[in-house]
Amino acid sequence: MEIQYHGHSCIQLTSEGHSIIIDPFITGNPLAATKLSDIRVQYILLTHGHQDHILDAVELAKQNDATIIATFELANYLGWQGAKTMALNLGGSASFPFGTVKMTQAFHSSGMVFEEDKRIVYLGMPGGFIVTMGGKTVYHAGDTGLFGDMKLLGERHDIDAAFLPIGDVFTMGPEDAKTAAEWVGAKFVVPMHYDTFPPIKQDGKAFVDSLKEKGIDGAALKPGESTRL
């Protein structure tokens, strides 16, 4: 499996001719190194309905004839904008040509804020994903704080790689993310949701180095960089 980090929480997974992307946020990301028009995927997974996770979902779905997988509310919201969607809610799983997707819980919020008319649209519960693909199992935590059931995820799944937020302020920070890495039993960790904006500035390399003390490998990928499992 090839893992490509597009910055923020956007991860692309490719294996055996299949490619999926999680939380596409390219055009609004000042650190992005990839053009949206260059991305080729068949499925788009969305953890929750914040702008910095769904901004490019509809356009990317249309340009690739790809299917968006998201919670019921978010799938409907984006379907009304002309995208192909499939609803998948927390605890649910489904099979696809590339493998399987299970949606896990996350502790965060989810909705679109329309500043011009002081309106907020609720877009369902936030979540994360456990994806099996190409003989590997990966966990994308979404935006979340640390929660005890991460231990259960580690007990129930043999996780080869985990993508964990470290930005703090809006999600867990490095110390909690280190605990999360231990609890889910990840063999390899990629930090995400940091550096994009000033409030979530963090040292990704220092975080990865701190994992080595726990016997966990990892990589602080820069936007556009890839690694293989």
9-41 per-position pLDDT tens digit: 999 999 999 999 999 999 999 999 999 999 999
Q: How many domains does the chain have?
A: 1
Alpha carbon distance 36, 180 (integer Å): 31
Is residue 191, in this structure, part of any structural domain at all? yes
Q: Does residue 107 sit within a domain?
A: yes
Q: What is the pLDDT of residues 103-150, one digit of tens each?
A: 999 999 999 999 999 999 999 999 999 999 999 999 999 999 999 999
Assigned domain for 227 exists? no
| The predicted structure's pLDDT at residue 86 | 98
Rounded mean pLDDT, 83-112: 98
Q: Which pLDDT does position 106 carry in this prediction?
A: 98
Q: Which residues contact 161 (CB under 8 A, 6 or more apart)?
A: 3, 136, 138, 139, 186, 187, 188, 189, 190, 229
The reply to whether 196 falls in a domain is: yes
Q: What is the pTM of this model?
A: 0.97
d(CA 196, CA 192): 10
Q: Is residue 155 part of a domain?
A: yes
Asked whether residue 68 is assigned to any structural domain, the reply reads: yes
Q: The CATH number of the domain where 160 resides is what?
A: 3.60.15.10
Domain boundaries, position 84: 2-222
Confidence of residue 76 (pLDDT cuts 50, 70, 90): very high
* Predicted pLDDT of residue 129: 98
Distance CA 224, CA 91 (A): 31
Average pLDDT, the chain: 97
Whether 229 maps to a domain, the answer reads: no
Give 160-178 pLDDT, tens digit per residue: 999 999 999 999 999 999 9
* pLDDT the model gives residue 63: 97
DSSP state of 64: H
Q: How confident is the model at residue 202 (pLDDT cuts 50, 70, 90)?
A: very high
Helix, coil or strand: residue 37: helix
pLDDT score, position 119 = 95
Determine the pLDDT at residue 27: 96
pLDDT value of residue 125: 97
Is residue 40 one of the residues assigned to a domain?
yes
User: What's the pLDDT band for 203 if we cut at 50, 70, 90?
Assistant: very high
